[in-house]
Amino acid sequence: MQTWTTHQIHNQFDEKQDYNLFETDIVLQQILQRYGSQDQATLSKMAQMAGSAEYYQHAELANQHPPILHAFDARGRRKDFIEFHPSWHKWMGLNRHFDTHAYPFNHPQSSSRWVEWAARFYLAGQVECGNLCPNSMTLGSIPLIQREPELWAKLGEQLLSTEYDERDVPIAQKKSIWLGMGMTEKQGGSDVRANQTIAVPIAEPGRGKAYVLTGHKWFFSAPMCDAHLVVAKTEQEGLACFFVPRWLDDGTKNNIHVQRLKDKVGNRSNSSSEVEFNQAWGIMIGEAGRGIPTIIEMANYTRLTCSVGSTAMLRQALVQCLAYTRQRKAFGKHLVEQPLMRAVLADLALETEAAMQLSFHLAHCYESDDALALAWKRIMTPASKFWICKRAVELTGEAMEVLGGNGYVDDGIMARIFKEAPVNTIWEGSGNVMCLDVLRAIAREPESMEMLFKDWASTAMHNEMLKTELQSLFKLFQQPPEELKFMGRSLVSRLVILAQAVLLTRHAPDYVADGFIQTRYSGFHGRVAGMIEAKQVDVERVLGRVLAA
The rounded distance, in Å, linking the Cα atoms of 403 and 400 is 6
The rounded distance, in Å, linking the Cα atoms of 260 and 275 is 7
Residues 338 and 221 in one domain: no
19 in any annotated domain? no
pLDDT by residue (tens digit) across 435-452? 999 999 999 999 999 999
Beta bridge partners of residue 181, listed in sequence order: 221, 229
pLDDT of res. 9: 80
Residues 271 and 343 in one domain: no
pLDDT of res. 276: 97
Least confident of 175-179, 186-190, 236-240: 186-190
242 in any annotated domain? yes
Q: Are 131 and 281 in contact (CB under 8 A)?
A: no
Residues 198 and 273 in one domain: yes
Residues 89 and 132 in one domain: yes
The rounded distance, in Å, linking the Cα atoms of 242 and 217 is 13
Residues 185 and 311 in one domain: no
205 in any annotated domain? yes
pLDDT of res. 43: 98
Task: Give the strand pairing for 333-334 and 68-72.
Answer: unpaired
The rounded distance, in Å, linking the Cα atoms of 101 and 188 is 29
3-state secondary structure 352-375: HHHHHHHHHHHHHHCCCCCHHHHH
Q: Are 235 and 229 in contact (CB under 8 A)?
A: no
Q: How confident is the model at residue 14 (pLDDT cuts 50, 70, 90)?
A: confident
Q: In total, how many domains does the chain have?
A: 3
3-state secondary structure 258-314: EEEECCCCCCCCCCEEEEEEEEEEEEEECCCCCHHHHHHHHHHHHHHHHHHHHHHHH
pLDDT by residue (tens digit) across 110-122? 999 999 999 999 9
Helix (H) or strand (E) holding 470: helix 464-476
Q: Are 197 and 185 in contact (CB under 8 A)?
A: yes
171 in any annotated domain? no
The rounded distance, in Å, linking the Cα atoms of 121 and 119 is 6
In this predicted structure, the answer to whether residue 179 has a pLDDT above a threshold of 80 is yes
Least confident of 352-356, 385-389, 403-407, 522-526: 522-526
Residues 236 and 256 in one domain: yes
Residues 44 and 83 in one domain: yes
CA-based end-to-end distance of the chain: 45
Measured CA to CA in angstroms, residue 334 lies from 37, 288, 407, 486 at distances of 38, 63, 18, 46
pLDDT of res. 355: 98
pLDDT of res. 191: 81
> What is the DSSP-derived secondary structure letter of residue 530?
T
167 in any annotated domain? no
The domain boundary residue, chosen from 111, 133, 160? 160
The rounded distance, in Å, linking the Cα atoms of 246 and 236 is 26
Residues 247 and 123 in one domain: no
CATH number at residue 445: 1.20.140.10
The domain boundary residue, chosen from 223, 255, 290? 290
Q: Could you give the percent of the chain with pLDDT greater than 70?
A: 99
In this predicted structure, the answer to whether residue 219 has a pLDDT above a threshold of 80 is yes
Residues 391 and 273 in one domain: no
In this predicted structure, the answer to whether residue 512 has a pLDDT above a threshold of 70 is yes
pLDDT of res. 526: 67
This prediction has a pTM of 0.96
pLDDT by residue (tens digit) across 274-328? 999 999 999 999 999 999 999 989 999 999 999 999 999 999 999 999 999 999 9
Closest CA to 156 of 146, 165, 164: 146
Query: Hey, how many other C-beta atoms are within 10 angstroms of the C-beta on 201?
Result: 16
Residues 355 and 491 in one domain: yes
15 in any annotated domain? no
The rounded distance, in Å, linking the Cα atoms of 348 and 529 is 7
The reply to whether omega before 222 is within 30° of 0 (cis) is yes
Closest CA to 414 of 266, 262, 544, 263: 266
pLDDT by residue (tens digit) across 482-494? 889 999 999 999 9
Closest CA to 130 of 415, 416, 434: 416
pLDDT of res. 452: 97
pLDDT of res. 322: 97
pLDDT of res. 55: 98
486 in any annotated domain? yes
| Residues 6 or more apart whose Cβ sits within 8 Å of residue 259 | 273, 274, 275, 276
Residues 490 and 407 in one domain: yes
Max Cα separation, the chain? 91
Task: Give the strand pairing for 272-285 and 256-261.
Answer: antiparallel
SS3 of residue 250 by DSSP: coil
The domain boundary residue, chosen from 260, 290, 320? 290
Average pLDDT value over all residues in the chain: 95
In this predicted structure, the answer to whether residue 8 has a pLDDT above a threshold of 90 is no
**Mean pLDDT, range 382-391, rounded to an integer:** 98
Residue ranges making up the domain that contains 485? 294-544
> What is the DSSP-derived secondary structure letter of residue 80?
E
12 in any annotated domain? no
Separation of CA 75 from chain center: 41
Which runs of consecutive H residues, i.e. helices, occur in 126-172?
132-146, 149-160
Q: Are 363 and 308 in contact (CB under 8 A)?
A: yes
Q: Are 488 and 432 in contact (CB under 8 A)?
A: yes
Residues 515 and 378 in one domain: yes
| Residues 6 or more apart whose Cβ sits within 8 Å of residue 218 | 184, 185, 186, 189, 274
The rounded distance, in Å, linking the Cα atoms of 39 and 32 is 8
Q: How confident is the model at residue 3 (pLDDT cuts 50, 70, 90)?
A: low
pLDDT of res. 481: 86
pLDDT of res. 68: 98
pLDDT of res. 1: 54
